[in-house]
Amino acid sequence: MEIEKTREQLHEEDLQRIRGFRLIDDDFLNVCFADNIEATELLVHIILNKPDLVVSRVQTQKTIKNIHGRSLRLDIDATDTESREYNIEVQRSDSGANPKRARYHGSLLDANIVEPGEKFEHIPETFVIFITENDIFGLGKPIYKADRYYEGEDGNMIPLNDGLHIVYVNGAYKGDDDIGKLMHDFFCVEPDDMYFEKLAERARYFKKDEGGIRQMCKVMEDMRNESIMQERKKFAKRLIEDGENSAERIARLSELALEDVEELLENKTA
């Protein structure tokens, strides 16, 4: 009976969280934009002022592996019909939008789209777009574009045209233009109050439709289970670091499956 009550409490907490979700919350962004070409096109049309751009593929929570260093999980990864690549990230904290992070995103995007033997001049353009909760540069501009330049003979700065474009969207911008309306919608709790129907439609489905709410509850349950699994793995790793090498004992103490513990032990000795 106590277990059932706990489930009911968790379910009610999930429903309350769903009601408060906004597109600036990455968990909600991921479900709303998954395979959603129309909404993604809307974003890049407004942010980049490219109304004719046609998106051909969208994926959320795409993992880019880096065997020699830190891997990345992208909020939105998209490609257009001209093979240009778009990585769109939402960042609630200012530290998460550090320019060096954008640089790293760009480098891993390039590393994963360049085929062996491909000529460098054929590398497609890539756009790393950070939508930030605050105006991290403090100039009140809706958009900050960061391209690379080199210094000409007379000291003027000339575009390098290397194909990497880093763009910051100021989530605190409240203008009456399309960017301001877009940011309003990203911070809007009530779908019926949104300006852009392409965004409101998906938000409304996951907040008010019974099927959408079920999907959101499943997503949140999976997230809880993943969080529990990660904590158990952290505890198991601490036991291993402290010298424990009995897989059975580690599995019992950490509540991990024996095969998961054996994998951790194997990775330690690899």
pLDDT digits (tens, 9 = 90+) for 65-107: 876 778 888 999 999 999 999 999 999 887 778 888 888 898 8
Q: Give the closest residue to 45 by CA, choosing from 156, 182, 137.
A: 182
Q: List, edge to edge, every strand of the sheet that includes 55-64.
A: 55-64, 72-80, 85-91, 126-132, 164-170, 143-146
In the structure encoding, which two tokens stand for residue 132, read together? 């930030």
- Cα(33)–Cα(75) distance, integer angstroms: 9
Looking at residues 153-160, what average pLDDT do you find? Answer: 90
175 phi and psi angles, rounded to 5 deg: -65, 165
pLDDT at 189 over 70: yes
Residues 106 and 126: beta-carbon distance below 8 Å: yes
Residues 261 and 247: beta-carbon distance below 8 Å: yes
- Cα(265)–Cα(236) distance, integer angstroms: 9
**DSSP bridge pairs for 164:** 126
pLDDT band at 269 (very low <50, low <70, confident <90, very high): low
Of all helices (H) and strands (E), which one includes residue 91?
strand 85-91
Residues 104 and 146: beta-carbon distance below 8 Å: no
Q: Write the CA distances from 209 to 191, 203, 215, integer angstroms.
A: 12, 10, 10
Least confident of 96-100, 171-175, 196-200, 230-234: 96-100
Residue 133: per-residue pLDDT: 94
Residue 1: per-residue pLDDT: 38
In the structure encoding, which two tokens stand for residue 159, read together? 């575009």
pLDDT at 254 over 70: yes
Q: Write the CA distances from 97 to 33, 40, 104, 131, 229, integer angstroms.
A: 21, 20, 11, 9, 28
pLDDT at 4 over 70: no
Residue 2: per-residue pLDDT: 42
* pLDDT tens, position by position, 105-124: 988 888 887 777 777 777 88
Residue 118: per-residue pLDDT: 72
Give the whole-number percent of the chain exceeding pLDDT 90.
Answer: 50
Looking at residues 249-267, what average pLDDT do you find? Answer: 86
Looking at residues 229-241, what average pLDDT do you find? Answer: 89
pLDDT band at 5 (very low <50, low <70, confident <90, very high): low
- Cα(176)–Cα(184) distance, integer angstroms: 10
Of residues 185 and 226, the one with the higher pLDDT is 185
